[in-house]
């Protein structure tokens, strides 16, 4: 079968099963890794992704539904979300729409964090936007539970870095919209997380 898209660590197929479109995410072997390590990483990320897609949804974050998983062959079959990557939309969206959608993105990260979860790779290619402007988060293979303030700070820092490197011409509006969204999710830790992001940036500057 022809892959639908090839990511950094996975090959994605789209197929029809039981009358619906299913997205199949496969983590293939990486020839340059030691076999035992590769096997361990593929299994643990597949298992983590499956679990965290559901944990996130229980926190109120829209994620694709998991249909089935094959842990030995490293496949996850999940709901196909009809839409586009936020990454592809940034350049063509009007400023107010971009602001609204990025604000929602920040809000979803805030919901995860309040629930003790970090996404691990909060870039704009892992956000799917439909026609109506509803958004979903995908790619939970690096997500973690029991997150500390440091882990949350790193998560937001990664988001900011993604805006800087991929959307440098919209960076300011996106970062401030994301923080506004994040702030709407009230948590005792919010201010600590924000100052930690600053600290992490400072650390980066001198190393």
Active site residues: 121
| Number of residues this chain uses to bind Mg ion (CB under 5 A) | 2
166: contact with ligand ATP by CB under 6 A:
no
The item of Mg ion, ligand ATP, none sharing an interface with residue 8, based on CB under 5 to 8 Å by kind, is ligand ATP
190: contact with ligand ATP by CB under 6 A:
no
Of the two residues 174 and 179, which places its CB atom closer to ligand ATP in the complex?
A: 174
- The H or E element spanning position 107 is helix 95-114
Cα 183 from chain centre: 19
User: Min. distance of Cβ 11 from ligand ATP in angstroms?
Assistant: 8
Give the residue carrying structure tokens 């892959």.
3
Q: Give the number of residues written for the chain.
A: 207
Give dist(CA 164, CA 141) in Å, integer: 23
User: Min. distance of Cβ 203 from ligand ATP in angstroms?
Assistant: 25
The item of Mg ion, ligand ATP, none sharing an interface with residue 55, based on CB under 5 to 8 Å by kind, is none
List the Cα angle 104/155/133 in 5-degree steps: 15
Region binding ligand ATP by CB under 6 A among candidate stretches 89-97, 120-128, 173-181, 189-197: 120-128
Of the two residues 56 and 185, which places its CB atom closer to ligand ATP in the complex?
A: 56
Region binding ligand ATP by CB under 6 A among candidate stretches 125-133, 156-164, 165-173, 185-193: 125-133
Q: By the 8 A CB rule, do 14 and 23 touch?
A: yes
Residue of minimal Cβ distance to ligand ATP: 7
63: contact with Mg ion by CB under 5 A:
no
Give dist(CA 167, CA 172) in Å, integer: 9
Whole-number Cα distances in Å, 156 to 6, 34, 104, 160, 203: 26, 32, 14, 6, 15
List the Cα angle 50/56/61 in 5-degree steps: 130
Of the two residues 3 and 115, which places its CB atom closer to ligand ATP in the complex?
A: 3
Residues within the interface to ligand ATP (CB under 6 A): 5, 7-10, 12, 23, 25, 64, 78-81, 85, 125-126, 128, 138-139
């Amino acid at each position: 079968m022809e892959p639908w898209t090839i990511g950094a660590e996975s090959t994605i197929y789209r197929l029809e099963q039981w009358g619906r479109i299913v997205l199949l995410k496969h983590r293939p072997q990486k020839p340059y890794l030691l076999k035992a390590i590769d096997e361990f990483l593929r299994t643990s990320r597949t298992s983590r992704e499956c679990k965290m897609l559901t944990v996130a949804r229980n926190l109120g974050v829209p994620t694709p539904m998991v249909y089935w998983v094959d842990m030995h062959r490293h496949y996850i079959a999940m709901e196909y979300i009809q839409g586009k990557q936020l990454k592809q939309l940034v350049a063509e969206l009007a400023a107010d729409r971009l602001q609204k959608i990025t604000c929602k993105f920040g809000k979803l990260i805030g919901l995860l964090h309040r629930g003790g979860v970090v996404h691990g790779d909060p870039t704009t290619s892992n956000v799917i936007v439909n026609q109506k402007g509803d958004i979903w988060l995908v790619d939970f293979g690096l997500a973690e539970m029991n997150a500390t303030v440091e882990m949350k700070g790193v998560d937001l820092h990664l988001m900011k870095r993604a805006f800087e490197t991929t959307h440098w011409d919209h960076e300011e509006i996106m970062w401030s919209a994301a923080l506004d969204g994040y702030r709407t999710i009230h948590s005792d830790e919010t201010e600590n997380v924000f100052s930690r992001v600053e600290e992490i940036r400072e650390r980066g500057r001198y190393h």
